[in-house]
Structure 1
Amino acid sequence: MGRENGGAMSDGVLRKILLSYTYVAIWIFLSFSVIVYNKYILDPKMYNWPFPISLTMIHMGFCSTLAFLVIRVFRLVEPPSSPAMTRDLYASSVLPIGALYSLSLWFSNSAYIYLSVSFIQMLKALMPVAVYSIGILFKKESFKTASMLNMLSISFGVAIAAYGEARFDGWGVTLQLAAVAFEATRLVLIQILLTSKGISLNPITSLYYIAPCCFMFLLVPWSFVELPRLREAASFKPNVLIFGTNSLCAFALNLAVFLLVGKTSALTMNVAGVVKDWLLIAFSWSVIRDTVTPVNLFGYGIAFLGVAYYNHVKLQALKAKEAQKKAQQADEEAGALLQERDGDRKSDSQA
C-alpha cells in the first residue's frame, strides 16, 4: 500500500514538474517569437515598416477585440467582481497603468529600429535595477546595502556590454532605457493601485481593461508622428498575414503569461526570462548575424550573475514567507486544539 501511494505521489510530482517545464517552454517560445517578429517588421534591413506606434496600436486593437469576445461574448473568463471596476477606480488605477504600458511598448518597439536583438536583451537586464529603485521611491521597497550593491553590479555589467556594442546607437539606447523605466514604474503601480485594493487581473482581464486604454493613449502621438508619414507611403499595403499572425502571437503571449504565473510563479517567469535572453542572444548572433563581441558577453555575464543573485534572494524571501505562514497556521491550529481540550475538561468537571 505504502509503495503504491509513494508511486502515485511520485507520478503526481513528475507530472507537475513536466507541466511546469511545458508552460516555461511555451512562454519562452512565444516571447521569443514576438520579439523576433517585431524586429523583422520594424528593422529597415528586413521588412522595413518603421512605424512602431502603428504596430503597437494594431496589437492593442487586436488584443482588445479578442479579450472582449472571450469575456463578454463567449464568457470564458469572468471579469473581477470584488471590488467592482467602477468609473472612479478605472480612472485612478487602470488609466495610469495603461498610459505607462503604452509608453513602454511604444519605446521598446521603437528601439528595434536602431539596436540589435542581442543588445536590447542585454539592456533589459536593468529591469530589476529599475523596479528596485522605483520601489524605494514609492516606499514599496526598503533600502538595503546588499541589494544596492547587487543593483550596481547589474548596472556595471550592462555598462560594459554597452561599451563593447558594435552597433551602439545613442537614440536607440535612450528609447530602450525609457521603455525599461516606464515598464518598471508600471509594475510598481500595479502593486500600489491594484493589488492594494484587492483587484486581481489575469492577462485576459488586464487586456480587456488596459488594451483599449493603451490604444487611445497611442492615438494622440500616432496622429502627429506617424499618420502624416503613413499618408505619404499610401502605396504601401501591409501584409494581412504577417500583421495578423504577429498580433496573434502577441495575444498568445499574454495567455502564456497567465499559464506560467498562474500554474507556477512570477519568480519562475523571471528565471525563465534569463534563459530566453541567452537564447535570443545566440539566435541574434547565429541567424540574424548581429555582431556580438567578447566584451558584450563579458559585460552581460556580469549582469546575468547579478540578476541570478537577485532571483535567488527573491526565492529565499519567498520560502521564508511561506515557512512563516505555515508556522503561524500551525500555531493557530495548536491554540484552537488547546482551547477545545480545555473546554472538554471544563464540561467533564461540571458533569
Structure 2
Amino acid sequence: MGKGESLSHSVLRSILLSYSYVAIWIFLSFSVIVYNKYILDKKMYNWPFPISLTIIHMSFCSTLAFFLIKVFRFVEPVSMSRDLYLSSVVPIGALYSLSLWLSNSAYIYLSVSFIQMLKALMPVAVYSLGVLFKKEAFKTDTMANMLSISLGVAIAAYGEARFDTWGVVLQLGAVAFEATRLVMIQILLTSKGITLNPITSLYYVAPCCLVFLLVPWIYVEFPVLKETSEFHLDFLIFGTNSLCAFALNLSVFLLVGKTSALTMNVAGVVKDWLLIAFSWSVIKDTVTPINLFGYGLAFLGVAYYNHSKLQALKAREAQKTTGQADDEAAKFLKDTQGEVTGTKTGSQN
C-alpha cells in the first residue's frame, strides 16, 4: 500500500514538473514575441531597428553564457577544435543571424497572429530540406501532409486583413534560414557526435552571430541611428527584453532536457493559439474567419506531423528494447551453453 502510494506520488510529481516546464517555456516564448513586437512596431514603442535589437540580444546572451560556463560552471563546455568551429559553428551562426534578423524585421510589417500562422510552415521547410540533403526519407503521405499545411497557410494569407508582401517575404526568409540551420546542425554537428544544449549553443554560436550581424548593421542601421540620435537606450526596456530572451533559452534547456523536443513542438502549437487569441483580443489585430480556417487546416497538418513523429519515436524505442532483450537472451543462452559444455568436459575427465 505504502509502496503504491509512493509510486503514485512520484508519477504525479513528474507530471506536475513536466507541465511546469511547458508552462514556463510557453510564458517566456510568449513574452519575448510580444515584447519584440512592442519594441519594433511603429504604433507602439516605435524603435524599428531589428538588427540592433538582435545585436543587443546576442551581446547579452553571449556575456551570460560565458559567465555560466566559464565562471559558475553551470554546464561543461563542449570540446571544440578550431577547424570544427570554422567548418560547423560559423555556417550555423551565419544562418542563425539571418533568421533572427529577418524574423524580427517581420514584426514591423505583420501582425503577431499572422506571423504565427506563417511559422506553421517550419515543418514543411525542415522536412523538404531533410529530403533534399538525404537526412529524411521521402514518404508520399508525409509530403501530402506538408502540402496540406502549405495550403492552410496560403488560405490564412489570403484572408489576412493587413497583408504586407515585404513582411511575408521577410518571414518566409526567416523560416527558410531557420530550417536550413536546423538541418545543418544535424549534418555538421550531430553527425559528428556533438550536441549543443541552449547554453553551450549560445556560448559558441552567439559571438559568431554577433559578428555576422555587425556587417549589415554598419551599412543599414548605423547611419540612421547616428542621424536620429537613437543610441540613447532605455536600459529597463532593453535589459528586461534581453533577460527574457536569455531566460527563454534556459527554459528550452529545461524543457527538452526534462521532457523531449517533441513536447516542445506540441507546446509550440498551444503557444501559437494563445498568441493569436492575445493578438486579436489585446493588441486588437484583425483576425478574419478565413485566417482561422486556413490556420486551423495548417494546425491539423502540424498536429498529425507531431503525432507521426511520436509514433515513430515509440516504434524506435520498442525496437531498441526488443533488441536489448534479444541480446540479453542470446548472451544468457551462450553462457548456459558454456556451463553445460564445461560440465560435460569435467565429467569426461
Tell me the TM-score normalised to structure 1 length: 0.97
Backbone CA RMSD of aligned residues: 0.8
Work out the CA distance in 2 between the residues paired with 1:237 and 1:168.
33
In the alignment, which residue of structure 2 is the partner of 1:109? 104
Answer yes or no: is 1:214 the counterpart of 2:209.
Answer: yes
In the alignment, which residue of structure 1 is the partner of 2:192? 197
Tell me, what secondary structure is at the counterpart of 1:337?
Answer: helix
Work out the CA distance in 2 between the residues paired with 1:339 and 1:297.
62
In the alignment, which residue of structure 2 is the partner of 1:50? 48
In the alignment, which residue of structure 2 is the partner of 1:346? 341
- Deviations along 1:193-248, one digit per CA (max 9) or x if unpaired, are 11000101111100000000000000000000000000011166221000000000
Q: Shift of residue 18 of structure 1?
A: 0.6
Tell me, what secondary structure is at the counterpart of 1:76?
Answer: coil
Change over 3 Å in CA distance of 1:236–1:63 after alignment to 2:
closer
Work out the CA distance in 2 between the residues paired with 1:12 and 1:343.
42
Q: Shift of residue 347 of structure 1?
A: 1.8
In the alignment, which residue of structure 2 is the partner of 1:175? 170
Work out the CA distance in 2 between the residues paired with 1:150 and 1:342.
52
Give ranges in structure 2 of 5+ residues lacking alignment. none
In the alignment, which residue of structure 2 is the partner of 1:333? 328
User: 2:57 aligned to 59, 77, 87, which one?
Assistant: 59
Give ranges in structure 1 of 5+ residues lacking alignment. none
User: 2:83 aligned to 72, 83, 88, which one?
Assistant: 88
Q: Shift of residue 5 of structure 1?
A: 2.1
Answer yes or no: is 1:166 the counterpart of 2:161.
Answer: yes
Answer yes or no: is 1:119 the counterpart of 2:114.
Answer: yes
In the alignment, which residue of structure 1 is the partner of 2:27? 29
- Deviations along 1:267-309, one digit per CA (max 9) or x if unpaired, are 0000000000000000000000000000000000000000000
User: 1:305 aligned to 300, 304, 320, which one?
Assistant: 300
Q: Shift of residue 28 of structure 1?
A: 0.1
In the alignment, which residue of structure 2 is the partner of 1:259? 254
Q: Shift of residue 151 of structure 1?
A: 0.3
Answer yes or no: is 1:226 the counterpart of 2:221.
Answer: yes
Q: Shift of residue 63 of structure 1?
A: 0.2
Tell me, what secondary structure is at the counterpart of 1:312?
Answer: helix
Comparing 201-210 and 339-348, the one that deviates more: 339-348
User: 2:238 aligned to 243, 248, 264, which one?
Assistant: 243
Percent identical across equivalent pairs?
Answer: 78
Q: Shift of residue 10 of structure 1?
A: 1.5
Aligned residues: 346
Work out the CA distance in 1 between the residues paired with 2:100 and 2:317.
34
- Deviations along 1:101-124, one digit per CA (max 9) or x if unpaired, are 000000000000000000000000
Answer yes or no: is 1:273 the counterpart of 2:265.
Answer: no
Work out the CA distance in 2 between the residues paired with 1:281 and 1:343.
67
Report the residue type matching 1:318 in the other structure: L
Report the residue type matching 2:46 in the other structure: N
In the alignment, which residue of structure 1 is the partner of 2:137? 142
Q: Shift of residue 4 of structure 1?
A: 2.2
